[in-house]
Structure 1
Amino acid sequence: MVFCFVIGNSVDTPSSDIDANKLRLWRVNIPWDSGDKLGKLELLRTRSSNEDIIIQELGGELLYPNMDIGNIFTQDSKDIQIIVQLPSLPATTGKRKMVEDEEDEFQAKKEKLKRIRFHIPAGILRGSLEMHQQDEEKFRNLVNSLPNINIQDKVFKIPRLPGNNKDTYIYNRECYKYLCNFILEDTKFRRYLITGNPGIGKTFFGRLMLIELLKRNKSVLLDCETFTVWIHPTGEIYTVVNKTLYRQMAEQPNVWCIIDRKKDQVGHDFSNGKLIMVSSPKKAIVRDFAKQWCKSLYMPTWNENELEECWNNLYRKSGKFTLKSVKDKFKLCGGIAQWIFNDNQSLSDIDSVIKQALISVELNMLYNQAKDFSDDEYTYKLIHINTNIKRTDEAEPYTEFFYFFASDNVAKRCLKKFKKNYKERLCSFIESTKNIPEMRSLYEQLFELVSHEILCQEGVFPVRKLTDDSKLEPEITITLESLKEIFFNNFSDIKENIR
């Protein structure tokens, strides 16, 4: 027998007229001799009452639809164990029965509660949310493996999750540690957007946060493109099938939401829970999420040292590809690890992707990057987002962003196309972007490329000598013959007689 206390302004409505999916059930334990708590129950007679009373003063814990009641209530008790919160209904003309004396009314209600046996439909507790048995087992296996996962290691393994055909080995990027610590230690924000180019490890960072939060005894709502699941550190797993239930779960204490590459389900006005979104900066996904008091942090593309270290730790022994192939891909496409470590994507495959992007991208698309990145599917393959890795006088690490070409190879090919198709607009584009902070690096790359190309041609050029005191020296001219551009990887390779 389970004794329940029913609240809400539809108490007098026949139970057959109530949508069972809209009930909210709270687990409590209120002895009959607890006058103070029984008094507080009277404050909860309407659906509009403050639910903080249930949580903070009555110790209420929200029950979810597919919880097994047999596992929750293991012993018979005559105490009130469930608060049933009915959905709001339109106002009616019926009047509540009155008694002459308030004390007699309270005692009458108390006696009535003793006789209540509330039938909880099996569909609410068992059948309304279903998860495929194999997927459920994968998440349970993840929870059971937590003691063996050390996210401080340079490489750590997590058991395979839905969508993966094997265990996942994660290379612990340097930025992960800072981003993780910032989110966990921050007390100012409740929303965190981790963004950057596709294919640089944002989803893996979301997995790292999942492990860390579960280890800290937090429940996690993992919201991905193909599934949404609630994971409790004890191993309880529930699928979430609608936004209403998602929002109810998200606002509970000790629950964090990790949203991976999709639009959030709570809306921009939600401020009760803690939310982490990992996504490329597509406006359709991140715009509403970032409206609320949100901290945006930018994940950088991979540098060559990271790629080499990752190859040494994860791929060297397998022999699937060489370090040379890693570096060749990096020189072509920049630090997109998803492309570089994909053994099914050759150098020529990547080159074909870049060629297709060059055909589709126009000059004005680059200019629009300062306003809205990656709305089209081609630009991000040519333009990358970078960030300030170190703290500056103006900003904390990973909080500023700027754009630059994916690689020198891509920059030269873009310049060649722009000169051919947009020669007159190219100079005005370079001039206009120098005053846009986010575009400064792009401007500098283009300016350098154009300058080198001009200087390599023979001609007479006006020059001024640089001085230590910043005074302007008289302008003179210099005559240059046709020059050949030479590149060096190390300063020691530059000979003294090369000017």
Structure 2
Amino acid sequence: MTKGPDSADIKSEIDNVIKKINDVEEQVRTADDAVKLATKRGLRSRTQLRKTAKELQRPDLSEQERAALVAQHQSCVATLTAAEKDVERLSRKEERLRKKEEQLRKKEEQLREEKLQQDGAAAGLGKESATGVGYSLKATRMMKALHSMQALPGPGEVLKLDVSFLFHPMYDSLFVREWYPQLFDALVCYPKPSKYIVTGTPGIGKSWFFYYLLARLLKSAAPPPFIVWEHMTKPGKAWCYTHETREVVLGERTSFDDVLLNPATWYITDGVPPQLDCLARIVLLTSPKRETFKEMRKEAAEVLYMPLWKLDELLACRSLLYGTVDEALAKDLYWHYGGVARFVLQSPEEKPYKGLDELLEELREAVAGCNTAQMRSSIGSISTGPEASHRLLHIVADETFRLGHLVFASQWVADEFAKKAMSDERQGLISLLSSTSGSVRGSLYEAIMHAVLPKGGSFTVAPIDGETWERQGMEEVLVLGRCTRTEAFKDLQTAATEHVYYRPLSPTFETVDAFERGEKTCDFFQMTVGSSKELDPRKLDSLLNDVQLPVGVTPRLHFVVPEDSYPNFKLKAGGKKNWPPKLQSPAFRMKLHIMKGVYARLQVCTRSLHAGCPMAGGGRRLWL
């Protein structure tokens, strides 16, 4: 009878397989880097092609300029063609290498299973002691890589492994967000509660926080003896890491009942309702779906909300990990989708052949499929609203990770929703506006007033004394002319055409939401649903210096407020030592008004905004 290989022989064979895997991994990384470089080269060429194609449409081109542009266009086509061929060739090579790597990993896993059977157990939970439990090679490799890191990266840095993440096999790096350490502290600083729900707007990275949480636990002064986790991709299965052996086994979720009775165990589930009949510390990572977390809420679990991404944070992450995504495209996507990394960074990286319009298709579909009743329901309870509502409404957390309030994903979303609702259910929109509050009401009101003001008409205004901030004299009727069109501006100096309703391209533009130049006046508008507004003369000076109004044109700033806020609305001085503005100050010329923003007579016209305007999207405009 032939004797099989002993445990030492199997270990030696495992070591040889691992060495081959490492060699193939290096080749895969090299091929992957080459694919990314070729893709980036193609993207640059595609962007340049669009620019030259646009330039070639100019009617004032000289023959010499046209010839140069044609040559440049042809060069870009050649570069793009070569880049696409390189991507195809290198992608095939990468695919072959990954298949070879997969075969080697299967071989390693088979050998480890054989070794476990000979040893009789793995982490105390081998096949002889727990039915259906087996060694998990990928999970073990990831945990060992996390444990072997010399130092944890800080906020704004990259956590990078030499293996891929278990549930994101195409990635080996993650961006450590600014608040990750504080959220970890919130999960560990108190012995009770021992059950936590970590949620937030879908797409902001709850599943990525899982890896950071594992790293922090492994690098802590007293790592937990066991970490058990479950994932939505494998219902009914669970992984168990034993710190003593540094190995992970995979089995049925009931296989680890004894481990979960240990209060020192950490139990993490991603998108899966956890077992609650245990003593372990539970962390549920989930989208705001009531069906997933309702049982934990009954057990008095603490709910923590992840913050949305800020633009500068997304751009920092882009420069470190998503270099193939054009920065201008990332900004455009942010101004539409809001602070959701999945749509601002991940989608354009995975679909480099798509431009802005194609990447916005999902958002447009979400707007098109949402009516005022669904919006009202989602505002009332975001956890029970339809999936698409999370594209339109975002959860804002405060500094303690508690729910602050809901906001529209972006002003663009509010604009588009208002256009659709005004066309399909005008009264429903007006009713929704009157029943909402806070940021949602503010965005919705701004969207409606951006439809009203360009059409002109008569508006009731209260003049404001520039020194006392009190209403001055009787109310007046202000007549605004009809604008010829709406345009977005990036630089105020370029927004110089009269009777055009200008809106800032950036949603973070300070001081005003829109303005219109006239022959004798320049009207600035700021929409608000609050009871008061602070005004800083230094910002007014900066605004007027940038606009560069001709002599004889009077600037007027109108604070546009709802009818119910109008009677008691107040202005407050920001930077009181700088107010009132000095005689030579540009702000001294500004006339101030509180405007009653009435919108009950809205109608719809099916004329679209000019091409290229970020507010355009859907072919509708609203009119009085």
**TM-score normalized by structure 1?**
0.67
Query: Does the 8 Å CA contact 1:138/1:162 hold for their aligned counterparts?
Result: no
Sort the Cα spacing of 1:161 and 1:127 in 2 relative to 1 into closer, same or farther, 3 A. farther
- 2:176 corresponds, among 172, 175, 178, to 172
Cα distance in 2, alignment partners of residues 288 and 233 from structure 1: 30
* Map 1:182-221 → 2, pairs under 5 A: 182-216=186-220, 217-218=223-224, 219-221=226-228
Query: Structure 1 or 2: larger helix share?
Result: 2
The amino acid that maps onto 2:424 is N
Are 1:241 and 2:252 matched, yes or no? Answer: yes
Q: Distance in 1 between matches of 2:262 and 2:154?
A: 26
CA–CA distance in structure 1, aligned partners of residues 415 and 193 of structure 2: 42
Question: 1:388/1:149 Cα in 2 relative to 1: closer, same or farther (>3 Å)?
Answer: closer
Match of 1:296 in 2: 303
Does residue 1:224 correspond to 2:224, yes or no? no
- Contact 2:156–2:178 under 8 Å retained in 1: no
Structure 1 residue 403 corresponds to structure 2 residue 406: yes
Cα deviation for residue 209 of structure 1 reads 0.9
Residue 397 of structure 2 corresponds to 387
The whole-number CA distance in structure 2 between the counterparts of 1:155 and 1:122 is 35
- Equivalent of 1:495, from 534, 543, 547? 547
Superposed, 1:88-237 pairs within 5 Å as 124-125=128-129, 127-132=131-136, 134-139=137-142, 141-142=144-145, 144-147=147-150, 149-150=152-153, 154-158=157-161, 159-216=163-220, 217-218=223-224, 219-225=226-232, 226=234, 227-234=237-244, 235-237=246-248
CA distance in 2, matches of 1:409, 1:263: 35
2:283 pairs with one of 255, 262, 276? 276
Partner of 1:357: 366
- The 2-side partners of 1:147 and 1:409 are apart by 45
Aligned to 1:427: 430
Deviations 1:118-141 (A, max 9, x none): xxx995426531245x33543453
- CA 1:230/1:153 → structure 2, altered by over 3 Å: closer, same or farther? farther
Which sections of structure 1, spanning at least 5 residues, go unmatched?
1-64, 74-120, 390-396, 435-439
3-state SS of the aligned residue for 2:360?
A: helix
Verify the 8 A CA contact 2:156 2:177 in the aligned structure 1. no
From 380, 397, 419, give the equivalent of 1:416: 419
8 Å Cα contact 2:123/2:247 also seen in 1: no
Q: Contact 1:139–1:237 at 8 Å: present in 2 too?
A: no
Over 3 Å counting, the alpha-carbon distance change for 1:123 and 1:200 in structure 2 is closer
Task: Report the CA distance shift for 1:67/1:186 in structure 2 as closer, same or farther (over 3 A).
Answer: farther
- 1:71 deviates by 8.3
Shift of 1:323: 1.0
2:485 equivalent to 1:482 = no
CA deviations on 1:72-95 (whole Å, 9 max, x unpaired) are 99xxxxxxxxxxxxxxxxxxxxxx
Match of 2:350 among 329, 344, 352: 344
In 1, are the aligned partners of 2:121 and 2:129 still within 8 Å (CA)? no
Change (3 A) 1:473 1:264: farther
User: Can you give the 5+ residue segments of structure 2 that lack an aligned partner in the other structure?
Assistant: 1-115, 484-499, 511-541, 550-554, 557-624
Deviations 1:191-249 (A, max 9, x none): 12111111111111121111111222112112112252111223132224133x44432
Query: Structure 1 counterpart of 2:168, which letter?
Result: N
1:130 to 1:448, Cα distance in 2 relative to 1, 3 A: same
Rounded Cα–Cα distance in structure 2 between residues aligned with 1:197 and 1:338: 11
Structure 1 pair 66–460 and aligned structure 2 pair: CA distance change class (3 A): farther
Q: Distance in 2 between matches of 1:348 and 1:452?
A: 23
Task: Name the CA distance, whole Å, in 1 between partners of 2:298 and 2:357.
Answer: 41
Whole-angstrom distance in 2 between the partners of 1:487 and 1:229: 53
Structure 2 CA distance for aligned equivalents of residues 187 and 413 of structure 1? 47
**Which structure is higher in RCO with an 8 Å CA cutoff and minimum separation 6?**
1
Amino acid at match of 1:196: G
Q: State how far apart, in whole Å, the 2-side matches of 1:451 and 1:336 are.
A: 27
Q: Which amino acid is 1:160 matched to?
A: S
Distance (whole Å) between structure 2 residues aligned to residue 169 and residue 280 of structure 1: 22
- SS of alignment partner, residue 439 of structure 2: helix
Deviation at 1:415, TM superposition (A): 0.7
CA distance in 2, matches of 1:289, 1:67: 41
Shift of 1:417: 0.5
Contact (CA 8 Å) 1:459, 1:481: kept in 2 or not?
yes
What is the Cα deviation at residue 314 of structure 1? Answer: 1.9
Aligned amino acid, residue 503 of structure 2: F
Q: Describe the shift of the 1:309–1:372 C-alpha distance in structure 2 as closer, same or farther (beyond 3 A).
A: closer
Does the aligned pair in 2 maintain the 1:374–1:380 contact within 8 Å?
Answer: no
In the alignment, the residues of structure 1 paired with residue 168 and residue 217 of structure 2 have an alpha-carbon distance, to the nearest angstrom, of 21
Q: 1:351 to 1:138 in 2, by over 3 A?
A: same
Residues in 2 aligned to 1:473 and 1:272: alpha-carbon distance in whole angstroms: 70
User: Whole-Å Cα distance in 1 between the matches of residues 325 and 139 of structure 2?
Assistant: 35
SS in 1 for 2:134: coil
- Secondary structure of residue in 2 paired with 1:264: coil
Q: Counterpart amino acid of 1:258? A: I
Deviates more, 1:457-466 or 1:170-179: 457-466
Q: 1:259 to 1:145 in 2, by over 3 A?
A: same
Are residues 361 and 167 of structure 1, via their aligned partners in 2, closer, same or farther at CA, if it must alter by over 3 Å? Answer: closer
The 8 Å contact of residues 126 and 133 in structure 2, kept in 1 or not, is answered as no
Separation in 1, partners of 2:310, 2:319: 15
Distance 1:202 1:388 in 2: 17
- Of 260, 263, 268 in structure 1, the residue corresponding to residue 270 of structure 2 is 260
Q: Is the 8 A contact 1:196 1:280 kept in 2?
A: yes
Distance across 2 between alignment mates of 1:344 and 1:236: 32
Q: CA RMSD in A?
A: 3.0
Superposed CA deviations along residues 19-40 of structure 1, whole A, max 9, x for unmatched, are xxxxxxxxxxxxxxxxxxxxxx
Query: Is 1:447 the equivalent of 2:445?
Result: yes
1:149 Cα deviation from its structure 2 partner: 4.5
Indicate conservation of the 8 Å contact 1:458/1:482, yes or no.
Answer: yes
Is the Cα–Cα contact under 8 Å of residues 298 and 387 in structure 1 kept in the other structure? yes
Q: How far 1:453 sits from its partner (Å)?
A: 2.3
Give the TM-score taking structure 2 as reference length: 0.54
Corresponding residue number in structure 2 for 1:371: 381
Equivalent residue, structure 2, for 1:312:
319
1:255 shift after superposition: 0.6
Counterparts of 2:121 and 2:432, CA distance in 1: 69
Q: Is the 8 A contact 1:382 1:405 kept in 2?
A: yes
Distance 2:205 2:391 in 1: 16
